[in-house]
Amino acid sequence: MRVYLEQKNSYVNAKASTGKDLLEQLGFCSEDVILTCNGKIILPEAKLKESDDVRVLSVISGG
């Protein structure tokens, strides 16, 4: 699946069956980000499908 990384404003390809798998593969700490799937926030435990539009949003913004 294609995954959008908000912090880098870029896409990566990944293969993962759950949000947790995906975060581990991409090296994200679950507390640093939130995940959305098809426009809705999901918990890391949620299952993912190849066709899903997945986004990794950064929790840290501002400064």
Residue 54 near residue 5 (C-beta atoms within 8 A): no
Please count the residues of this chain forming the interface with another protein, following the rule CB under 8 A.
21
Given phi > 0 = left and psi -120 to 50 = alpha, else beta, which region is 8?
A: alpha
Q: What is the CA radius of gyration of the chain?
A: 11
Kindly tell me which of 41 and 49 has the beta carbon lying closer to another protein: 41
Does residue number 61 form part of the binding site for another protein (CB under 8 A)? yes
Sole binder of another protein in the list 11, 15, 53, 59 (CB under 8 A): 59
Which parts of this chain interact with another protein (CB under 8 A)? 6-7, 29-32, 34, 36, 40-43, 45-46, 57-63
